[in-house]
Amino acid sequence: MGRFDHYIAGLMRAVVFEDGQVVVSEVADPEPGHRQLLVAVRAAGLNGADVTQARGGYPPPPGAPTTGGLEMAGEVVAAGPGCQRFSTGDRVMAVVQGGGQAERCVVDEPLAMPVPESMDWESAGGFPEVFATAHDALFTQAGLAMGERVCVHGAAGGVGVAAVQLAAAAGAQVTATVRNPDSRGAVAELGAHAIDPAEFTDAGPFDVILELVGTPNWPANLKALATEGRIVVIGVGAGSEVTLNLALLMVKRLRLFASTLRPRPLEQRAAVARQVEHHVLPLVESGRVQLPIARTFPLAEAAAAYEYFAVPGKLGKVVLVP
């Protein structure tokens, strides 16, 4: 019998949002349903979407947990009916629609990925959302190919450092905009030419631009794109309202994509997980990609972690550890 075979449901601690404030409260344990895993969380990443939800700007999809956290890693406590791949004691990580920043979390089994033996819990907890988002945006949405030129805006954040490494591993020529000059050297070591955001237009033209910042980079993004270039918008933390020159879109035959993971149907999110598992986890196991950790916090200090997340200039992920 495994360590979790005698698990009994009760109460647990979880991040809860109350009137725009981040608090840690006791809530009822989740219970796994059909094809769901109950996971004892060892680490959970913090993302921009969590901060937006805490402020009331990003409500969870219908039926999703209202507690915080869109990614986590841990050990399987129990498997619901119909689970076929994972069982009690397995190390798993996943992108979830909520509830990851807690002592336990329910995960749809198709979303779960195995945690490589070489990966510690802190890295695993901050890995799924950023690498899934970056891989989906660069390759599924934009179709980035070997030898193409890509610009990653806001490259010092979690998705940015993931995107830089994935693009470099695929043989692309990577330029990364990094506002904090102290972080540019570390981003460059991940495989990019790291520059000040004001310089990116002159550094082009680019076949693909990954937009993680928003308003400040427009309309320069269109000018910096090569003919038949693509832009993928997956972050608008600095603003979401822009003016587009449609004639320039037409003349250059440009394509504009925009994407989020959270609202997608389970089947689509599971497909993203399989892409990450098949194409990205081997890079983790070979040491070609890593997850820089800016700082870890105990779950009890979640409010401080959310405040630190908003501090500019850090490199990598903020991770909560129950």
Q: Is residue 168 part of a domain?
A: yes
In the predicted structure, residue 287 carries a pLDDT above the cut 50: yes
d(CA 51, CA 34): 30
pLDDT in tens, 103-136: 999 999 999 999 999 999 999 999 999 999 999 9
Mark whether 135 and 57 lie in a shared domain: no
Count the domains in the chain: 2
pLDDT in tens, 188-244: 999 999 999 999 999 999 999 999 999 999 999 999 999 999 999 999 888 899 999
Question: Of 238, 258, 278, which closes a domain?
Answer: 258
What is the rounded average pLDDT for all residues in the chain?
A: 94
Q: Is residue 273 part of a domain?
A: no
Q: Is residue 4 part of a domain?
A: no
pLDDT at 8: 59
- The residue segments making up the domain with residue 67 are 11-127+292-321
In the predicted structure, residue 1 carries a pLDDT above the cut 50: no
* Pair 209, 153: CB distance under 8 Å: yes
pLDDT at 312: 85
In the predicted structure, residue 255 carries a pLDDT above the cut 60: yes
Q: Is residue 278 part of a domain?
A: no
pLDDT in tens, 64-90: 999 999 999 999 999 999 999 999 999
pLDDT in tens, 269-281: 999 999 999 999 9
Mark whether 152 and 113 lie in a shared domain: no
pLDDT at 302: 98
pLDDT at 237: 85
Mark whether 121 and 73 lie in a shared domain: yes
In the predicted structure, residue 181 carries a pLDDT above the cut 50: yes
In the predicted structure, residue 5 carries a pLDDT above the cut 80: no
Report the candidate in 257, 251, 248, 260 with the shortest Cα–Cα distance to residue 230.
257
The tokens describing 182, both together, are: 């102290």
Q: Is residue 1 part of a domain?
A: no
Mark whether 122 and 200 lie in a shared domain: no
- Give the dihedral sign, CA 95/97/102/105: negative
Mark whether 137 and 110 lie in a shared domain: no
Confidence (pTM): 0.94
Mark whether 70 and 142 lie in a shared domain: no
Question: Of 258, 281, 310, which closes a domain?
Answer: 258
Mark whether 23 and 96 lie in a shared domain: yes
Mark whether 67 and 96 lie in a shared domain: yes
pLDDT at 7: 56
In the predicted structure, residue 2 carries a pLDDT above the cut 70: no
Task: Report the percentage of the chain scoring pLDDT > 90.
Answer: 91
Average pLDDT over residues 159-188: 97
Mark whether 18 and 122 lie in a shared domain: yes
Confidence band (pLDDT; 50, 70, 90) for 10?
confident
Mark whether 310 and 221 lie in a shared domain: no
Rounded to the nearest angstrom, the gap between the alpha carbon of residue 72 and the centroid of all alpha carbons in its chain is: 11
Average pLDDT over residues 292-313: 95
In the predicted structure, residue 137 carries a pLDDT above the cut 90: yes
Q: Is residue 272 part of a domain?
A: no
Mark whether 233 and 157 lie in a shared domain: yes
Question: Of 232, 258, 284, which closes a domain?
Answer: 258
Q: Where are the alpha helices (DSSP H) in the chain?
A: 48-54, 121-126, 128-135, 158-169, 181-189, 200-203, 220-224, 246-252, 266-279, 281-285, 302-309
Residue with tokens 């401080």: 304
Mark whether 122 and 19 lie in a shared domain: yes
Which CATH number characterizes residue 166's domain? 3.90.180.10
Task: Report the percentage of the chain scoring pLDDT > 70.
Answer: 97
Q: Is residue 268 part of a domain?
A: no
pLDDT at 165: 98
pLDDT at 9: 65
* Rounded (to 5) percent helix, strand, coil in the chain: 30, 30, 40
Average pLDDT over residues 37-60: 94
Q: Is residue 206 part of a domain?
A: yes
